[in-house]
Amino acid sequence: MAVVVQKYGGSSVGTVEKIKNVAETIIKRKNKGDDLVVVVSAMGDTTDDLIGLAKKITDNPDKRELDVLLSTGEMISSALLAMALKDSGYDAVSYTAYQIGIRTSGQYGKSLIEDIDGNHLKESLEEGKIVIVAGFQGINEEGDITTLGRGGSDTTAVAIAVKLQGVCEIYTDVDGIYSVDPRKYSKAKRLSEIDYEEMLELASLGAQVMHSRSVELGQKYGIPIYVGLSNSETCGTVIKEVTNMNMESKPVTGLATSDEDVAVTIRDISNDTNVLSNLFEAMASRRINVDMISQTAPVEGRVNISFTIPKDDLKECLSVIRTYASKNSINIDEEITKFSIVGIGMKTTSGVAAKMFRLFSSNNIEVKMITTSEIRITCAIRQEDKLKAINLVAEEFKL
């Protein structure tokens, strides 16, 4: 029998009725003969509600205690789902991260999975139980509960699939992965498959269906990840390594945008490698994720340097860079959109960037910054131009 690890997102288990529907879906799969481990997120908006409760106590909740609080949301979902399965006559058991030995390291609120003790899981599966796991959480070496950050339940599911050498299925409120967010472009196409590399790029650039950490884990261990709509027969998308033939079918696979970044420019800073190195090392030590770095040509030993960071890190970033530059030499642009096209086919196709920039030029879309990789082109553009740019590029590349 195959080991199947399924994950159901918060919208899929958002009400008691939805939990019962998920239980029926799980039972159908169990009756096909598969061994099932089911990872669940917190119900609906539970995590946001718990954060709201914490903020009513204090504006700056202790991070350790906040993780303890937030972890309860997934525990509630897992216990209720196990109850629903048992009420239908199926043997089920719910486990927390502590009970199955999900060991983590790193910071509270965004810890990393180090390993999983699979013995408890295997024993329960051998006994014929349907195993329900509270996602999004782990236990660090001090024995404290930690949470895994955005996409944490997806990461839990993929990690368990790796440990049990099973397959991974992510069920959510969308019916797969699209070439473009269908809320922004109505003609977007649902993809039957997508390469790990492409999905990693799209996830890191604003596509919110999957988080990059879970995709990276699947790629590292060769675990295909199915993404589809819960309680639906509609075929979703498989994230896997694609063949050369698929790679060459078209140059651009998908498009992603993000309004979650700001552009920071430091004017008239010393063009000294040590200064720049110290600046970015200081930001790295604060875990500020710097992207899209650009620099002007030196003039009398001085340069302007620009980069993007997440909006949430702006306050922390300013506290760092004010050590290196005066307030008057720092410019912040919060009205940018990171606009990216992604496709493995770019490796073997020339002229993709030229087409995109020609479209932008002829339609008065200003490009503020550019960064590229073998399979990606990312620009910072004005937020007001976002929808126009999406429609133009999606039409051009038949997304």
pTM of the entire predicted model? 0.82
Tell me the β-bridge partners of 115: 103
Between 39 and 332, name the one with better pLDDT.
Answer: 39
Q: pLDDT tens digits, residue range 84-126? A: 999 999 999 999 999 999 999 988 998 999 999 988 899 999 9
Mean pLDDT of 149-172: 92
Compute the distance between CA of residue 215 and CA of residue 323 in angstroms, rounded to an integer.
37
Please, are residues 169 and 226 in contact by the beta-carbon 8 Å criterion? Answer: yes
DSSP 8-state class, residue 253: -
Compute the distance between CA of residue 178 and CA of residue 201 in angstroms, rounded to an integer.
14
Compute the distance between CA of residue 159 and CA of residue 116 in angstroms, rounded to an integer.
8
Q: pLDDT tens digits, residue range 358-394? A: 999 999 999 988 888 888 999 999 999 999 999 999 9
pLDDT given at position 244? 57
Q: pLDDT tens digits, residue range 249-269? A: 688 999 989 898 999 998 888
Between 278 and 89, name the one with better pLDDT.
Answer: 89
Model confidence at 232: pLDDT above 80: no
pLDDT given at position 246? 52
Compute the distance between CA of residue 115 and CA of residue 160 in angstroms, rounded to an integer.
9
Tell me what the pLDDT averaged over the chain comes to. Answer: 90
pLDDT given at position 278? 87
For the CA atoms of the chain, what is the radius of gyration? Answer: 23
Model confidence at 226: pLDDT above 90: yes
Tell me the β-bridge partners of 171: 8, 228
Compute the distance between CA of residue 205 and CA of residue 98 in angstroms, rounded to an integer.
33
Structural domains of the chain sorted by starting position, each given as residue range(s) with its CATH number in brackets: 3-173 (3.40.1160.10)
Per-residue CA distances from 33 to 30, 167, 171, 379 (Å): 5, 14, 20, 49
Q: Band of the pLDDT at 283, cuts 50, 70, 90? A: confident
- How many Cα atoms within 13 Å fall on the side-chain side of residue 256? 23
pLDDT given at position 243? 63
Model confidence at 4: pLDDT above 90: yes
pLDDT given at position 223? 93
pLDDT given at position 383? 93
DSSP 8-state class, residue 342: E
Please, are residues 269 and 329 in contact by the beta-carbon 8 Å criterion? Answer: yes
pLDDT given at position 206? 66
Mean pLDDT of 298-316: 87
Least confident of 20-24, 157-161, 263-267: 263-267
